[in-house]
Structure 1
Amino acid sequence: MKTQVLLTFITGSLLIISNTTYAQENFQRLVDKIIVSNGTSLNELNFYQASSFMEMPYEKEYPEAVVYNGEKILLLAEDFKTRLDSYLITDWAALLQLSHEVAHHLKNHEFPLSKQHEMKADEFAGKVLNDFGANRKQLTEALETIAESNHAINSKTTVTDRLESLINGWQSASVIDIGVSVSEENVRDRDDTNIDEDEMNAEKILRKSLEALGGVDKIKRIDKLYQHQKNEMKMKVSGTDVAVTTSLEMHYLDSSTLLNKITTVSSLTPGTSTYVETLVKDEKVYTRTTSNVPWVVAPGQTMNMISNSSNYIQEYKLLEKAYTVNYLGVEEFNGKKYYVLETPEETIMENTQSKTTEKKKYYYSVNTGLLTYVDWDSKMGGMVSKNWIHYFDYRSVSGILYSFRQEMTSTIDMSGTEVNVTTITTYPVIEINPDFDETMFKVN
């Protein structure tokens, strides 16, 4: 059989054959990124122009993984490489199916493939699309495009099966728990024992953190943001154990417009819940109790819910005013080192009756650059609270890392009465640049 090898991938290096075109070079970098950046290894993977390999017309629009004489092969249509660019992905369907087929070889799936193999390959593909910046809508549209091809959906999985597996992979992409040693393994060779504290400052630490999160370029591409946040709070009040669960749906239309839908359930009033919507727009704060009534201005408030959201890209906001942030040095907890930054006291809410202020310390891992702890005091009238929050479970959303779990402890002093509160915050869904019905943000 006459074959034409277009490129060979060997772990650790890529072999570019002579007369490689620009599209081939980009494709080569793309495959390298898919394989290496996902923490997998592959001894050898060969790509063949399918029509030459098979000596017959190749009708499939998308790649196909095969094993021939013990060799791991991906068959490609003649023009497939021109559909993908390693720097700017626009054909998400092509990347999805390429990643799916590469996954079969990366995970050493046995042929013929089982339904479980196909679903695992789709989970991998969902993760890859997340890493490259695809949002949930683009993921779904990519699968719909593939489904229109007569040769793209295998007989073992339905479109529904595939979508479920893709979303699972997309949502759980790049899980990094900075409290677990496995994440430190990736940076263990970095020498953090000889830190020159005199050379460090707030700007350098914040830029390092932004790079760890995915890079300023990716963060700048955030136009809209959706976060579904769940808070489970427990405390004891006058000897009674109280549990409060809050569900927040946060819709960021842009960097200064936020619609927050809040549902609260308390153990003190079982079977009932309260609902309120808050809109931050044009430097004003509006509230209402249902979506069917007009917005009411909350007078006198200077609350900026955008910059104080616990899971927005706060490092990007801090960088804008880094000259006001103090670098306090390096501290060690549980055998790990952290850069410590301190912000000045800031007014976060003020009206005619009271003012709320906060002063915070941020602890960034020396190894990973990721935010691990925040320690802050909050004052509102005669009430003072001391808070400590731990950030866990960093995952990639469109190539940007977010903490999907935070654990907070608070000690609140209310005129001599002390209340201890624990709060666990999780994020079932975070989406970057989703489609919003912009009428939600209209003030009647």
Structure 2
Amino acid sequence: MKTVRDDFTILNRQVNGHPLTYLDGAATSQKPAQVLDRIRAYYDRENANVHRGVYTLSQEATTSYEGARAKVAAMIGAASAKNVVFTRSTTESLNWLAQGYGFNQLEAGDEILLTQLEHHSNIVPWQVLAKATGARLRYVSLTDEGEIDLADFKDKLSQKTKIVSFAHVSNVLGSLAPVKEMTALAHEVGATVIVDGAQAVGHFAIDVSDLDVDFYAFSGHKMLGPTGIGVLYGKTDFLEAMTPVQYGGEMIERVTLEEATFQEVPWRFEAGTPNIAGAIGLGAAVDYLNEVGLETIADKEEELMAAALSALAEIPDLTVYGPQDAKNHHGVLSFNLAGVHPHDVATVLDMAGVEVRAGHHCAQPLMDYLGIQSAVRATFAFYNNQEDLDRFVSALRQAREYFV
């Protein structure tokens, strides 16, 4: 793990005269040189559109693009590369599901079941869909530790439940959903299961086939890849039941003046020139993660979280949200200093070169549930080390001394 940091050249820079301590991977991860080099190589040597050309560059670009799809499929345990659709982000994937799948499945009186810890991207599309169809939104409560209350989940499932959508890992509390158990329970009532994996993929091994989820969405930029590329995994029958929400080139099989037919899954959903470089960069990120090892990554991040939870427990006037056991607390660490606005804390930390996020983290209903308006959030990734943690804790103590 010591040599891993050498792959992230940005970690060598200084911020405000201090070594950069980057703790905002939940918003976007840093990118290793191998990913950046692969994107540059595409533009240097393969730059052409995919699928449309019989000439060499186009064939090479197509091979790299579709190769990335296959790498992603293998990483998440999909049955086939055809179960992987490239999107722009988790947000776009969830919106496509609401518009292209949910709209065809719901009618007045049906229910959509979410949880209290969802990101806005997994709330607002369903709110819009519910208003359009006459369906009803329901929300599962949380335990005192900030985990999904499985008993409440069971109570709220019914024959009216048509869609269940929830985060694999909370982007605020770091709590892990019991995906496999929730999926099995939802399937018993015939509901479709959608999982937001934005904070999970790249942090530990995931097997969507074993979990048996119907759809799974995540973003490349949170797992060492470039921005602007996301993934929507779907079981074949469920993707077939989905209507494209964008139309144009690439996704067309045949067009007449009166009508059109579309390509097979997954290409029917990828209208226009896709984010070729983004997909290829994502493929390189998958290669990198596999080389480091997802088990190694998970162990390192748990080690950092355990140390962080222990250190923050020693700081007076500080409240940590979410599970207090590092084995149940993944990636993100949200907290507040009593009487100090999170933006003020983040500003003091930034002056020490420690980059954290402050705000509602696109989870205002969860903030309301917790009885707060906002929080400071630090994210620990496998490329962080003890020195990062020490600088973070030192800066946080300075912030407390300054304000409290």
TM bin, normalised by shorter chain, reads: under 0.3
Which entry has the higher C-alpha Rg, 1 or 2? Answer: 1
Q: Larger RCO: Structure 1 or Structure 2 (Cα < 8 Å, ≥ 6 residues apart)?
A: 2
Structure (1 or 2) with the greater strand fraction: 1
Structure (1 or 2) with the greater helix fraction: 2
The alignment's TM-score, normalised by the length of structure 2, stands at 0.25
